Structure 1
Amino acid sequence: MNVSAPDAARSTVNQKRELRRVLLSSYLGSAIEYYDFLLYVAAASLVFGDLFFSNMPPVVATLASLSTLAVGYLSRPLGAVIFGHYGDKIGRKSILVITLLIMGVSTALIGLLPTSNQVGALAPILLVLLRFIQGISVGGEWGGAALMAFEHAPEDRRGFASSFAQAGGPTGTMLAAAVLGLFALLPKDQFMTWGWRIPFLLSAVLVAIGLWVRLRISESPLFVEEQRKQVASGAKAAIPLMQVLRQPRALILVFIALLSPFLFNSLLNSFGLTFAKSNGLELSSVLAIQAAGGFACVVFQIVSGALSDRFGRTAVMTFGMVAGVLFTYPFLLLTSSGEFGKVLLAFVVMNAVAISPMYGPMAAYLSEQFRTGSRYTGASLGYQAASTVGGGFGPMLLATLIAAANGMGWGYILAFTVAIGVLSALAMWVLGRSRSAAAAATLESIGVGSS
């Protein structure tokens, strides 16, 4: 039966409307998840040392507080495996609802925790437990949000579409920094007593908004088609994780390729905050700078995603890695100045020219490395494994390097970021060559392009 022109036009309009809803869902959901996750990063970097490790010397308390960040990152690969499996088996949409609920509850509970002055050692234990649960949640969230945008979009717009899920991250950072910074304007005793808790409790309101949006979108059409094919074939579907691990080359190379983006993100959004505060900036000023950097990142990540549709994911992401290496020294120099304007410039430029080109195309880049039936698992696991190493342990490693003897901390950081940047760029190049060779072999096998 032929489809009339008006019916075809209505179908196109409906598809575009649904795509806009999906992009909004991916963006808002990621923003809320990362508001929760990165609110903890900011609080751990700036205030949790005094609240939950008050029985330790100040320097040791700061390091202990930062070390709890690693707990959240360590649990992210576990979340990727658990929720990736079910996202590939039962669908992307339902898993996104579950992860958002888990994150919202755990974050709100952090806002209700007693401090070490009230319950002693139990306080940091409960903090670490809730951070672990946060990590499991965000480990499953990212893959679903990215894939929903990627799999609903036309093939030539997937970089642009999936960048909205990526842009949710800096939006969450910006929102977390702005809200925490607003309450940091309270007198210090009030902020340390109850003011820091309110941003965590506000998570419950944001989660309600996110759920309302997510429940109104449709399932991924590529996932639905994959399920239809499996039913038609009658074959028993393989376990998604096993599909990924049977051909581990892509997973290993993706992991290496993403180390550099996560390391640079740690340089800015965890180590950079502590470094700026230790060089004389007030807490509220540091958080305002982080919010401004997050805004720049939102805009330029979407621009970078669109550019990757035209110039390729590898080209845009490699540009960001090179820019990050070149701007590391100026970033440290400006951040150490203790002057608001210079530190603001450092954060905005680093976010715009380095972080955004690396992160904007990342969701599409990862999604393209795996088949639909195991894409949630493969993309999530590659992303979260790299985030655990580069993001979870990055702040502690950078803090150790900057504290190195004989004033060589900056030199160590520069050498380290250059080495990781080169390694990541090389992994992307090798993976790109492998995919090109595989595509050429496939075309030759079906008689396309043969003489």
Structure 2
Amino acid sequence: MSATPPPTSSPELKRVVTGALVGTALEWYDFFIYGTAAALVFNRLFFTDSDPAAGTIAAFATFGVGFVVRPFGGVLFGHLGDKIGRRSTLIITTLIMGVSTGLIGLLPTHPAIGVWAPILLTLLRVCQGLGAGAEFGGAATLLAEHAPPGRRGYYASFAQTGVQIGLVLGTSAFLLVQLLPEEDFLAWGWRLPFLVSFALIGVALYVRLRVAESPVFREMERTREIVRLPIKDALARHPRNFLVGVGAHINDTAIVYTLSTFSVAYATAELGMSNHGALFGVILFALTVIVLQPVYGNLSDRVGRRPLNLFSVVFVALFVYPYFLMVDTGVPWLVWLAMMIMGAFGFAPQVAVQPVFYAELFGARVRYTGFAASRELGAALAGFSPLIGAALAARLDGAPWLVAAFLIGTAVISFVAFYASRETKDIDIADIADIDIAGIDPVRKPVAEE
């Protein structure tokens, strides 16, 4: 970048935060309700040829398909984000997520159209995954590039707050429709949370159309620094940071989807908890994380991104067996407490820091692509956690101890990534170079470029 862009005004910054918070919440509402439906409904309506355990595994497999395509969404829409702008790309992803989610609510089930039901369900899940692959990276990049110096961690954390609000909204929607008689719930009630997405498209578009483009991207346009192929430059100039980005998203992905999908299926099928009791635990988990997001984001501006990331994955590794011991009691308040503790100290620190951490890994010219592609590749590797959890639990007649060992393994991977990362909290985001080659400092431009 040839010059530092002017700071964003306070009213505009508020619009950016609101746009990212509301837009991300509504888009991830779309993504999360699929996971809840996979745990509670799809195994009974779309995979009826299977026995219950096999049907659950098949439903979780279609859930995981969304993660397989997320890196492709990250590359595709990240490319657009670095070429035509962060804001314009987010509007496109909003439409993709909203329409594909709404259409799931209109799908005929297996008894009506046979094998075409799971095929169409999987195709729409692919569309969800493509949209989700660029959603978070775009919202976080927009926030980080608008945020004032020394406050990036705090403001960028609201992108992740939106994700957790989406989890609460999606889980709450299923809690409400489950108040219906079971026959009505299975016949049409489960469709309502998906159909609501058609209406939410309008809300998300309204807030995002009022947000200004990133000042960093506007400066890139002015100085004609937009690159031709961002993914190529991201891999060539940031090889180390790209790998760090992949590993950094392994553990938190495994945690959130193990808690919100596998734990729900385990608590209801193996422990006899009611669906309402299990889903209420997920809501408490998400509310705990929502409250702590700005706290940890602000703390990262003071102590750094790296210490909080390392603390969180170490906590996960130490607490995961106690977590399942508490869940295995089947006592509702202990299950809820276990989820809240994991959320407060294992999940919240790393995801609060995540938006700014990834934004600071890459230079402005490839930031959206590098952010989205590396993060979503990590998500793809860990996105089958509910499926892996169900398969591992089946090997021990439903017991979760192999699942705990799996989560420890993901914590080790992310620990290595965070340990290899550099601290960047004091660097001007407009001054982060597009270089990460051995022997050259990746967080400041070489003298020749300045």
TM-score by length of 2: 0.91
Distance in 2, Cα, partners of 1:399 & 1:94: 39
1:51 aligns with 2:45: yes
The partner residue of 1:281 within 270, 273, 293 is 273
Cα deviation for residue 292 of structure 1 reads 1.8
- Matching residue of 1:5: none
- For the residue of structure 2 that corresponds to 1:417, the secondary structure is helix
- Matching residue of 1:264: 255
Cα deviation for residue 290 of structure 1 reads 1.3
Cα deviation for residue 118 of structure 1 reads 0.9
The partner residue of 1:303 within 295, 299, 314 is 295
**Greater fraction helix:** 1
Indicate if the aligned counterparts of 1:275 and 1:336 stay in contact, CA closer than 8 A. no
Q: Structure 1's 226 and 339: CA in aligned 2 closer, same or farther, altered over 3 A? A: same
- Matching residue of 1:116: 110
The root-mean-square deviation of aligned C-alpha atoms, in Å, is: 2.2
* Structure 1 gaps, min length 5: 1-10, 447-451
Distance in 2, Cα, partners of 1:206 & 1:63: 30
- Matching residue of 2:334: 342
Distance in 2, Cα, partners of 1:420 & 1:40: 23
Distance in 1, Cα, partners of 2:169 & 2:445: 47
1:426 aligns with 2:416: yes
Distance in 1, Cα, partners of 2:233 & 2:78: 12
Cα deviation for residue 442 of structure 1 reads 6.1
Cα deviation for residue 244 of structure 1 reads 0.8
For residues 315-374 of structure 1, give each alpha carbon's deviation from its aligned partner in whole angstroms, at most 9, with x where no partner exists: 111111111112211211122222221111111111111111010000100110101010
Indicate if the aligned counterparts of 2:306 and 2:421 stay in contact, CA closer than 8 A. no
- Matching residue of 2:433: none
Written as runs of structure 1 = structure 2, the 5 A alignment for 1:47-446 is 47-230=41-224, 237-247=227-237, 248-278=239-269, 279-390=271-382, 392-405=383-396, 410-432=400-422, 438-439=440-441
Indicate if the aligned counterparts of 1:182 and 1:284 stay in contact, CA closer than 8 A. no
The one-letter amino acid paired with 1:20 is K
The one-letter amino acid paired with 1:353 is F
- For the residue of structure 2 that corresponds to 1:403, the secondary structure is helix
The one-letter amino acid paired with 2:22 is L
Indicate if the aligned counterparts of 1:23 and 1:161 stay in contact, CA closer than 8 A. yes
Distance in 1, Cα, partners of 2:445 & 2:214: 28
The one-letter amino acid paired with 1:123 is A
Q: Structure 1's 443 and 118: CA in aligned 2 closer, same or farther, altered over 3 A? A: closer
1:27 aligns with 2:21: yes
- Matching residue of 2:429: none
Cα deviation for residue 130 of structure 1 reads 0.4
Cα deviation for residue 443 of structure 1 reads 9.2
Distance in 2, Cα, partners of 1:151 & 1:340: 43
Tell which deviates more after alignment, 214-223 or 342-351. Answer: 342-351
Cα deviation for residue 304 of structure 1 reads 1.2
Cα deviation for residue 441 of structure 1 reads 10
Give identity over the alignment, percent: 38
Indicate if the aligned counterparts of 1:241 and 1:378 stay in contact, CA closer than 8 A. yes
The one-letter amino acid paired with 1:245 is L
Distance in 1, Cα, partners of 2:410 & 2:47: 32
The one-letter amino acid paired with 1:385 is L
Cα deviation for residue 92 of structure 1 reads 0.6
- Matching residue of 2:432: none
Distance in 1, Cα, partners of 2:437 & 2:204: 36
- For the residue of structure 2 that corresponds to 1:432, the secondary structure is coil
- For the residue of structure 1 that corresponds to 2:273, the secondary structure is coil
Cα deviation for residue 413 of structure 1 reads 3.1
Q: Structure 1's 223 and 336: CA in aligned 2 closer, same or farther, altered over 3 A? A: same
Distance in 2, Cα, partners of 1:374 & 1:162: 18
Indicate if the aligned counterparts of 1:111 and 1:197 stay in contact, CA closer than 8 A. yes
Indicate if the aligned counterparts of 2:140 and 2:355 stay in contact, CA closer than 8 A. yes
Indicate if the aligned counterparts of 2:264 and 2:275 stay in contact, CA closer than 8 A. no
Cα deviation for residue 416 of structure 1 reads 3.0
Distance in 2, Cα, partners of 1:24 & 1:326: 36
- For the residue of structure 2 that corresponds to 1:155, the secondary structure is coil
The one-letter amino acid paired with 1:308 is S
Distance in 1, Cα, partners of 2:443 & 2:174: 54
Cα deviation for residue 437 of structure 1 reads 7.8
- For the residue of structure 1 that corresponds to 2:329, the secondary structure is coil
Distance in 1, Cα, partners of 2:402 & 2:191: 37
Matched residue pairs, number? Answer: 429
Distance in 2, Cα, partners of 1:251 & 1:224: 25
Distance in 2, Cα, partners of 1:417 & 1:179: 28
Q: Structure 1's 444 and 190: CA in aligned 2 closer, same or farther, altered over 3 A? A: closer
Indicate if the aligned counterparts of 1:240 and 1:377 stay in contact, CA closer than 8 A. yes
Indicate if the aligned counterparts of 2:249 and 2:375 stay in contact, CA closer than 8 A. yes
Cα deviation for residue 82 of structure 1 reads 0.7
Indicate if the aligned counterparts of 2:248 and 2:375 stay in contact, CA closer than 8 A. no
- For the residue of structure 2 that corresponds to 1:156, the secondary structure is coil
Cα deviation for residue 399 of structure 1 reads 1.9
Indicate if the aligned counterparts of 2:19 and 2:207 stay in contact, CA closer than 8 A. yes
Q: Structure 1's 444 and 145: CA in aligned 2 closer, same or farther, altered over 3 A? A: closer
Indicate if the aligned counterparts of 2:30 and 2:170 stay in contact, CA closer than 8 A. yes
For residues 168-214 of structure 1, give each alpha carbon's deviation from its aligned partner in whole angstroms, at most 9, with x where no partner exists: 11110100001111111111000000111111111122221111111
Q: Structure 1's 351 and 443: CA in aligned 2 closer, same or farther, altered over 3 A? A: same
Q: Structure 1's 182 and 437: CA in aligned 2 closer, same or farther, altered over 3 A? A: farther
